[in-house]
Structure 1
Amino acid sequence: MVNNKQKDAPHAQWPEAAQTLIALMHAQGEVARLSEREQLISSLLVSVNAVLWAFNWETRQVLYVSPAYERIFGRSAGLLLADYNQWRDSIYPDDLEYAEQSLAEVLRKGAVEDREYRIIAADGQVRWLSDKCFINRQDEPGQPVIIVGIAEDITDKKHMETELQRLATTDVLTQSSNRRHFFECAHREFAEARRHGSPLAFLLLDIDDFKLINDSYGHPEGDNVLQRIAECGRGSLRRGDLFGRIGGEEFAAVFPGCAPDMAVQVAERLQQEIQRLRFNHDGQAFSITVSQGLTNLTEADESLDSLFARADAAMYEAKRQGKNRIIAA
């Protein structure tokens, strides 16, 4: 007689074998899923146009850098991982001190999200980065200080900001400061002069008979006259002087730190350069003149408005006296 236990013994092992097989199948499935996740993460990192990085603060070693590093910096990721100085050497020299100091700030703050600095890519192109970073804190004491971050290329954004700033502060026709920007800067210079007791001069300039120029030669030629006047202003004034178009045919200048006698010399130099200008419209040559009003900061002046008013009055006095002259008040 066959023992039922002995007869069923081989079959009794099936559940255990099945469980092992199922476990192996699950393990293989998990490995496959992990592989799929790794491939997905890898593809995501390749497609992200930002540099993800990890840095050991104590050993000064870059532990990880994402594929975008080579696209943005144009440099080898392998060299960076081997030598942290590859990062330092790529930073625009004027921004290196800030980049290093702001990175160190993360030790105190825990995170720094407003870092912006320039790099020089391998092709020589200067690019702007927005580089956010924070400490990956470890609960266990004695663990290394790891800083992780993400650096985005914001070069296009910076160029757009620069262009918007230029448009907001520049007279489109003459490329000089527009009225608003000129007076913003002039108020700052006035405050500085009053604070430090330093000299300051204010100049107003108006083109003589400008309406006649427009009527005789057309508005395009009048625009050309305005542009040439602006060129004379940029070429005749000193470094640090302000110059702008504040009205149709009216320009203004501020000379910080300029004593009265020097201010007269600058105004005369500008007058002479304008007198040398020559124009030609359909074979008809003509020249232009300007009237200038010049004044200097006094102890009684409490605002820029008083200087502007005196310069304006002096300029109209130059008009009354026959134009093409400088009147100092």
Structure 2
Amino acid sequence: MVKNTPTTLACNPPPEAAQTLLALMHAQGEVARLSEREQLFSSLLDSVNAVLWAFDWESRQVLYVSPAYERIFGRPAGLLLADFNEWRDSIYPDDLDYAERSLAQVLEKGAVEDREYRIIAADGQVRWISDKCFISQQAMPDQRVIIVGMAEDITEKKQLEGELQRLATTDVLTQSSNRRHFFECAQHAFETARREQAPLAFLLLDIDDFKQINDTYGHQEGDYVLQRIADTGKAVLRRGDQFGRIGGEEFAAVFPGCTPEIAQHIAERLQREIQRLSFSHDDKVFGVTVSQGLTGITEADESLDSLFARADAAMYQAKRQGKNQIVRG
């Protein structure tokens, strides 16, 4: 019996040793589970295509930034963690004031979810960012204000919005404003002129004998004539003027802050430039002329329609008087 005692002791350790062994095994399991969770969390952060960040408002220090920062901004995360100015330096200059003001608004509102601004990535590309931010609700021992946020790259969305806006406001053939957009802009200019008692001129332009151009040279050549006249109009008009195609061969222009006398000089230049245009079809060379009707806002004008009616009447008078001229109405 005595000879069997060592074997018995080896198979049955003391209770204290068994408890220690179980505790060690449990601890090792917890460490393994924590490691798995940490790896899973890290994997999730790597896969999220948005920048998660945390910022200490008082110390102006970025406390955390997720891996997507380096993909979207193209800059090392370590530099941002070391210096908050890395974020400021990456913002498109025209948007910096807005980006900083909207960040500060979170102190009053608790959350700002409509922040959109541009950045200049490390490769020089301009990208649009949607950057939502919130005050962290987790109580801090020293009552620090911690702002957390999520920044997403919305460049493709902005490009699509811009293209849809362009299609909605642009005449497909001439790439000038279409009728609806032109009159929306003209109405806004008219209301501003009335409110500020400022001058405003309105011009209608119609291509002379355009049907004959289509019948003689074909509609493709007629389309090219329209495109060239639209390009000439956009080149001659001043910055801030509005130019658009409002009918088949009819164009219009609005000159904010411009008296009819000054607008007359612009219209005369436009007339000359159009007369200089040269077109050829099957070895035949031809040119085009336009008839223009010009008018200016008066105290009696209560709507844009009255300017349009006067310019329209003046333009048809130019047609009746022999075409290729400007008539003031």
- The runs of 5 or more residues in structure 1 that have no matched partner are 3-7
- Tell me what 2:96 maps to: 96
Offset at 1:142?
3.2
1:186 paired to 2:186: yes
Distance in 2 between residues matched to 1:163 and 1:264, nearest whole Å: 35
User: Aligned residue pairs: how many?
Assistant: 323
SS at match of 2:105: helix
What is the CA distance between 1:19 and its match in structure 2?
A: 4.0
**Residue 31 of structure 1 aligns with which residue?**
31
Contact 1:137–1:145 (8 Å) recurs in 2: no
Q: 1:116–1:130: 8 Å Cα contact kept in structure 2?
A: yes
Residue 277 (structure 1) aligns with: 277
Residues 127 and 140 of structure 1, relative CA distance in 2, 3 Å threshold: closer
Residue of structure 2 equivalent to 1:300: 300
Q: How many Å separate the matches in 1 of 2:34 and 2:203?
A: 74
> Per-residue displacement from partner, 1:170-197 (whole Å, max 9, x unpaired)?
1111110000000000000000000011
Residue 138 of structure 1: how far off its partner (Å): 4.0
Q: Which residue of 2 aligns with 1:247?
A: 247
CA shift in 2, pair 1:38/1:130, >3 Å? same
Offset at residue 20 of structure 1 (A): 3.7
| Shift of residue 166, structure 1, vs aligned partner | 0.7
**Alpha-carbon distance in 2 for matches of 1:320, 1:39:** 83
Aligned to 1:202: 202
Show the counterpart of 1:127: 127
Aligned partners of 1:223 and 1:84: how far apart in 2?
A: 55
Report the Cα distance in structure 1 between the residues aligned to 2:124 and 2:85, rounded to whole angstroms: 18
Match of 2:221, SS state, is helix
Shift in Å at residue 25 of structure 1? 2.2
The answer to whether residue 317 in structure 2 is matched with residue 317 in structure 1 is yes
Question: 1:327 deviation in Å?
Answer: 1.0
Post-superposition offset of 1:223: 0.7
Where does residue 40 of structure 1 map in the other structure? 40
- Correspondence for 2:172: 172
Q: In the alignment, residue 222 of structure 2 is paired with which amino acid?
A: G
Q: CA shift at 1:26, angstroms?
A: 2.3
Return the letter of the residue paired with 2:293.
G
- Aligned counterparts of 2:126 and 2:9: Cα–Cα separation in 1: 77
Deviation at 1:11, TM superposition (A): 9.4
- In structure 2, the partner of 1:53 is 53
Deviation at 1:17, TM superposition (A): 4.2
Deviates more, 1:268-277 or 1:132-141: 132-141
Distance in 2 separating the partners of 1:19 and 1:210: 101
> What does 1:153-172 correspond to in 2, within 5 Å?
153-172=153-172
Residue 257 of structure 1 aligns with which residue? 257
**Cα separation, 2, equivalents of 1:37 and 1:201:** 70
**What CA distance in whole angstroms lies between the structure 2 residues aligned with 1:126 and 1:23?**
56
Distance 1:261 1:15, change over 3 A: same
| Distance in 2 (alpha carbons) for counterparts of 1:85 and 1:44 | 28
Could you tell me the TM-score, scaled by structure 2's length? 0.94
The two structures have a TM-score, normalised by structure 1, of 0.94
Partner of 2:294, secondary structure, is strand
8 A Cα contact 2:260 2:294, kept in partner: no
**Alignment partner, residue 212 of structure 1:** 212
In structure 2, the residue matched to 1:327 is 327
Post-superposition shift, 1:10? 9.9
Aligned 8 A contact 1:293 1:311 in 2: yes
Q: Distance in 2 between matches of 1:218 and 1:302?
A: 42
Render the CA deviation track for 1:21-54: whole Å, top value 9, x for unaligned. Answer: 3333222222111111110111111111111111
Say if 1:231 and 1:9 are closer, same or farther in 2 by CA, change over 3 A.
closer
User: What is the CA–CA distance in structure 1 between the aligned matches of 2:251 and 2:140, rounded to whole Å?
Assistant: 68
Query: Which digits, 9 at most, give the CA deviation of each residue in 1:69-121, with x for residues without a partner?
Result: 11111111111111111111111111111111111111111111011111111
TM-superposed CA distance for 1:294, in Å, is: 0.8
AA matched with 1:55: F
Give the aligned partner of residue 111 of structure 2.
Answer: 111
- Quick one: distance in 2 between partners of 1:122 and 1:140? 35
Structure 1 residues 140, 91: closer, same or farther in 2, change over 3 A? closer
The alignment's C-alpha RMSD in Å is: 1.8
**Structure 1 residue 239 displacement after superposition:** 1.5
